[in-house]
Structure 1
Amino acid sequence: MEAATYKKNGDAMRKTKRPLVLASVMLAMFMGAIEATIVSTAMPAIVSDLGGFSLYSWVFSAYLLMNSISVLIYGKLSDIFGRKPVITFGIILFLIGSVLCGFSPNMKMLIVFRLIQGLGAGAVMPIATTIVGDIYSPEERAKIQGYLSSVWGISAIMGPAIGGFLVQYVDWRYVFWINVPLGILSIIGLAFFLKENISSKKPSIDYGGAGLLTLLLSSLMIILVEGGVHWPWASGKVLALSTLALVALLAFIWQEQRAVNPVMPFDIWKNRSILIANIVSLTTGVMLIGLSSFLPAFVQGVMEKSATVAGFTLTAMSIGWPIASTISGRLLIKIGYRATSLIGGASLIVGGVLFVLMTPAAGPIWAAFGSFFVGIGMGLTSTAFIVSIQSTVSWEKRGIATASNMFMRNLGNTVGAALLGGILNKNILVYLTEHNSDKTDHLNVDSTNQLLNASERSHLGSGVKELLQNSLTHSLHIVYWAVLIFAVLSLLFIFFLPKDRRREAN
Structure 2
Amino acid sequence: MGEQKDKLQGKKGPLILLSFNLFIIMVGIGLVIPILPFYVELFDANAQIMGLLVAVFSFMQFLFAPIWGRLSDKIGRKPLITLGLVGFAVAEFIFAFANGLWMLFLSRILAGTFGSALMPTAMAYVSDVTSPEKRGQGMGILGASMGLGIVVGPGIGGWLAEFDLTYPFLFAGVAATIAAIVSFLILPESYPKEDRVSGDEMEETVGQFKQMKIALSSPVGFLLILVFIMSFGLANFQAIFGYYTMERYSYDPGEVGLIILITGIIGTIVQGGIVGKLIARFGEERVVTGSLLLSAVGFVIMTLAPSFVWVLITTSIFFVGNSTLRPSINSLISKLAGNRQGMVMGLNNSFLSLGNVAGPILAGTLFEWNIHIPYLFGGFIMIVGLIATNAWIRKKRVNQELSEG
Q: Work out whether the TM-score is over 0.5.
A: yes
Aligned equivalents of 2:320, 2:192: Cα separation in 1: 37
Out of 183-192 and 61-70, give the one that drifted further: 183-192
Q: Matches of residues 297-376 of structure 1 in structure 2 within 5 Å?
A: 297-299=243-245, 305-325=251-271, 326-357=273-304, 362-363=307-308, 365-376=309-320
1:378 to 322, 325, 342: 322
Given that residues 88 and 173 in structure 2 are in contact (C-alpha distance below 8 angstroms), is that contact kept between their aligned partners in structure 1? no
Query: Is the alpha carbon distance of 1:43 and 1:349 closer, same or farther for their aligned partners in structure 2, counting shifts above 3 Å?
Result: farther
Aligned equivalents of 2:274, 2:389: Cα separation in 1: 19
Aligned equivalents of 1:356, 1:375: Cα separation in 2: 15
1:103 aligns with 2:97: yes
Q: Deviations over 1:414-448 (max 9, x none)?
A: 22233334555xx3xxxxxxxxxxxxxxxxxxxxx
2:360 to 417, 438, 457: 417
Q: Deviations over 1:87-124 (max 9, x none)?
A: 22222111111222223456665344212210111111
Aligned equivalents of 1:187, 1:178: Cα separation in 2: 14
1:488 to 352, 376, 383: 383
Q: Matches of residues 60-459 of structure 1 in structure 2 within 5 Å?
A: 60-105=54-99, 109-167=103-161, 169-191=162-184, 192-195=186-189, 196-199=191-194, 201-202=198-199, 209=206, 212-213=207-208, 252=210, 264=212, 266=214, 269-271=217-219, 274-299=220-245, 305-325=251-271, 326-357=273-304, 362-363=307-308, 365-394=309-338, 396-423=339-366, 427=368
The Cα shift of 1:64 comes to 0.3
The Cα shift of 1:135 comes to 1.5
Given that residues 230 and 325 in structure 2 are in contact (C-alpha distance below 8 angstroms), is that contact kept between their aligned partners in structure 1? no
Share of identical aligned residues, percent?
20
Using the size of structure 1 for normalisation, the TM-score is 0.69
The Cα shift of 1:207 comes to 7.4
SS at match of 1:40: coil
- Structure 1: runs of 5 or more not aligned: 1-7, 214-248, 253-262, 428-473
Q: Deviations over 1:304-343 (max 9, x none)?
A: 6554433332234433333333322222232222221111
Given that residues 41 and 307 in structure 1 are in contact (C-alpha distance below 8 angstroms), is that contact kept between their aligned partners in structure 2? no
Query: Is the alpha carbon distance of 1:308 and 1:481 closer, same or farther for their aligned partners in structure 2, counting shifts above 3 Å?
Result: same
Given that residues 323 and 379 in structure 1 are in contact (C-alpha distance below 8 angstroms), is that contact kept between their aligned partners in structure 2? no
Query: Is the alpha carbon distance of 1:112 and 1:75 closer, same or farther for their aligned partners in structure 2, counting shifts above 3 Å?
Result: same
Query: Is the alpha carbon distance of 1:265 and 1:88 closer, same or farther for their aligned partners in structure 2, counting shifts above 3 Å?
Result: farther
Q: 2:392 aligns to what?
A: 497
Q: 1:443 aligns to what?
A: none
Query: Is the alpha carbon distance of 1:492 and 1:36 closer, same or farther for their aligned partners in structure 2, counting shifts above 3 Å?
Result: farther
Given that residues 31 and 179 in structure 1 are in contact (C-alpha distance below 8 angstroms), is that contact kept between their aligned partners in structure 2? yes
Given that residues 102 and 176 in structure 1 are in contact (C-alpha distance below 8 angstroms), is that contact kept between their aligned partners in structure 2? yes
Query: Is the alpha carbon distance of 1:266 and 1:173 closer, same or farther for their aligned partners in structure 2, counting shifts above 3 Å?
Result: same
The Cα shift of 1:61 comes to 0.9
Aligned equivalents of 1:304, 1:493: Cα separation in 2: 38
The Cα shift of 1:412 comes to 0.8
Aligned equivalents of 1:69, 1:267: Cα separation in 2: 15
SS at match of 1:41: coil
Aligned equivalents of 1:333, 1:15: Cα separation in 2: 21
Using the size of structure 2 for normalisation, the TM-score is 0.84
Q: 1:260 aligns to what?
A: none
Given that residues 216 and 222 in structure 2 are in contact (C-alpha distance below 8 angstroms), is that contact kept between their aligned partners in structure 1? no
Aligned residues, how many?
391
Aligned equivalents of 2:391, 2:122: Cα separation in 1: 29
Q: 2:374 aligns to what?
A: 479
- Structure 2: runs of 5 or more not aligned: 401-405
Aligned equivalents of 2:72, 2:279: Cα separation in 1: 28
**Bigger radius of gyration, 1 or 2?**
1
Aligned residue identity for 2:193: I
